[in-house]
A and B are shown apart, each in its own frame.
Chain A
């Protein structure tokens, strides 16, 4: 219901100098009073009517929020994706709200006091693993940051979700650094694998970035976190891996549903996406002149899984089991996304780990 034009006119004449009040003539409301739902007042509750209509394409090149009234003189603020399908995922609102609800503090939510001195080889292995994780986790913070300006404000849900991911990754960087320095150890060696993840930052397309980062890389890390409890030596470590896995699961979930959305709305991009996955599935390091040796991370994991250096054979078997789980969960996610054909095209390094397809 608009404000009475007579009142507005009178105010313009008699009110404080320079009054315009023209914006009050615009009735941009839904007229619907909202109610919090079972999860409180979530984005799903508020995005109704025109506000909830996520445009398939947009010419908005400013910071106008979706549903606000445009000004003809507003300057452009840079180019961004103008098509919803290029960035969208159907679960993005849910994931954002979940991220807000499930924040945790590495300072106070981890029972650090449960960490007791460990045998030297085990502590070193844990510290090496933490060195690797504190190193690589923030690639997944830098990458979304890089893409923030390219997501149009009309698709603010995607921006909001990526902002939560940046926060999650900082927390991971932080918690693994804390673990490395909490039990008489320290940081160890830089990873030789980590920089291979630079391909994430090299991505020239949002879907390319998401496929590589969310679906592949974070998928592998999420599987690792989930099995991290296997190698956890105390309640603190179990909690760290559990909470990190929880965070990572959201990122993976976004990636899978975004990929699904792309394949449903832009099916001609299937081969393109296979190409991106080809690139990331190539082994992280391959030096033709040296035998393919395990990385420091792999060795650390073998020691942890085997309960110490003496148990490395058992640790190796468990590492292979972890790899198998990682590869199969990756394949399952691709199937959910609609890329079941990846099974035949997966890199030979991973294919031996694949279980037979489910019928």
Chain B
């Protein structure tokens, strides 16, 4: 057994721990000092048995004791490695702010702008940083650029940040006056639907974010801002529904929710959520701005439309990228669109409250004549939604969707494509 130095602190060493120290030739002095610092005996025993070297323990314990004493003279920096200063990453980068400030996209210079088709790292290694061996993986599942990329992601991220708004204070709530009962109820019913859509989008994107590897931080950042957007949408539509005391309405049938949730890849998810669902949602926000009864509602629908149009833009750009990189997936994309369009229409047909709320809002009331006008205007909105949707798909590289679209939507398409 090693000789005990005279200056060892008077700490009792449990018998079992003493036995372990003896077996592994670990100085009792160090054992006592470690116990005095508060190390649990079982913890210490386990580390001794795992092969902790006494000189390593001494360095650590000495540092802790010095920290405890708080004597600045004792606090000397340990030997530094500084190998990190010389790692072979690109150095000398000086990105300057432009007209929109210092943007995320502007950082993509030199090697920092090399966005590989497959990200080879399982860790949180930032793109352009130097990897070190032995770092455990983080469990991402998306490593291929084609699975999530959109060329506009960085710009949309900055745009989302720049165009932030605050429902609590930016909306002129005091301009909302009491509406006739049916209009208020209809607005509450519509707002209920918008709240549901926002909740769903938040969950779906949240679920996929941790799966996306770090090499494509532009997409992760954009989706993070998109999460903020959906929070704001839920907030503002709930506030509107409750503002005049009318309350929320019926929940929606939820059929289309499942189509979004059931998607098995991010591309499928984005297609259903951003390209299909958000495209039609944008049309409803447009309609909302049209029948808005006061400046508050005008602003609410206008800003909500802005937010969701960024999501549509991402979805379209991602789809375009997929079709350019993997043209063989065209048929697969059509399958997803077939299913989503069908389920969306089935949901629309089953959601009488929403449809009727729109009739009332678009017609301006509950009289037979007003409902008739509302029905005509709703047809107009649906036509606009279908045509905008088709034009978006055309931009993304799916012009043939015009002939494959669900018949309920296809009937709204103009014979020949003209500007708007």
Contact = CB atoms under 8 A, between A and B. Distances in A.
B356 A29 contact: no
A248 interface: no
A33 B214 contact: no
Interface string A94-132: 001100110101111010110000000100100010010
Interface in B172-196: 173-174, 178, 181-182, 184-185, 188-189, 192, 195-196
Contact of B235 (A11, A39, A160, A181): A160
Nearest to B164: A103
Given A3-B182, A29-B247, A75-B254, A190 B123 contact: yes
B174 A36 contact: yes
Q: Output the residue of B185, B189, B200, B359 with the most chain A CB within 10 A.
A: B185
B207 A145 contact: yes
A64 interface: yes
Nearest to A31: B245
A33 B64 contact: no
A108 B101 contact: yes
A258 to B, nearest CB: 18
B84 A292 contact: no
Contacts of A156: 199, 234, 238
A113 B142 CA distance: 37
Nearest to A160: B231
Contacts of A268: none
A316 B129 CA distance: 25
A293 B59 CA distance: 10
Interface stretch (B8-16, B48-56, B301-309, B381-389): B48-56
Interface stretch (B69-77, B314-322, B323-331): B69-77
Interface string A1-28: 1010001001100111011111110111
Nearest to A47: B242
B161 A188 contact: no
A336 interface: no
Interface in B33-48: 34, 37-40, 47
Interface residues of B, number: 137
A16 B375 contact: yes
Contact of B161 (A19, A105, A121, A185): A105
Contact of B243 (A15, A33, A71): A33
B139 A23 contact: no
Contact of A192 (B126, B132, B157): B132
A340 interface: no
Q: How large is the interface on A (under 10, 10 to 19, 20 to 34, 35 or more residues)?
A: 35 or more
A348 B78 CA distance: 19
Contact of B199 (A29, A31, A65, A302): A65
Given A40-B169, A100-B232, A300-B84, A170 B221 contact: yes
A231 to B, nearest CB: 15
Contact of A190 (B38, B76, B129): B129
A121 B85 contact: yes
A70 B51 CA distance: 61
Contact of A351 (B37, B83, B368): B37
B203 interface: yes
A64 B366 CA distance: 26
A107 B51 CA distance: 50
A23 B352 contact: yes
Contact of B203 (A42, A149, A174, A352): A149
A272 interface: no
A291 B206 contact: no
Interface stretch (A84-92, A161-169, A210-218): A161-169
A74 B251 contact: yes
A164 B231 contact: yes
B202 A7 contact: no
A135 interface: yes
Q: Output the residue of A24, A131, A291 with the most chain B CB within 10 A.
A: A24
A135 B135 contact: no
Interface stretch (A194-202, A221-229, A249-257): A194-202
A5 to B, nearest CB: 12
A353 B70 CA distance: 9
Contact of A36 (B37, B101, B173): B173
B102 A288 contact: no
Given A31-B245, A41-B167, A187 B89 contact: yes
B126 A28 contact: no
A77 B254 contact: yes
Nearest to B192: A68
B84 A351 contact: no
A167 B157 CA distance: 10
A294 B268 CA distance: 45
A348 B33 CA distance: 12
A327 B34 CA distance: 19
| Closest CB pairs A-B (n = 5) | A148-B206, A107-B101, A170-B224, A40-B168, A29-B247
Given A28-B248, A170-B224, A348-B40, 9 more contacts: A29-B185, A33-B245, A41-B167, A74-B251, A77-B200, A100-B166, A198-B138, A291-B56, A352-B65
28 contacts: A3-B182, A23-B353, A36-B173, A39-B168, A40-B167, A41-B171, A41-B239, A68-B192, A106-B161, A107-B100, A128-B84, A128-B85, A143-B210, A146-B210, A149-B204, A159-B199, A163-B228, A173-B221, A177-B107, A184-B91, A185-B93, A187-B130, A194-B123, A195-B138, A288-B50, A288-B51, A292-B60, A351-B38
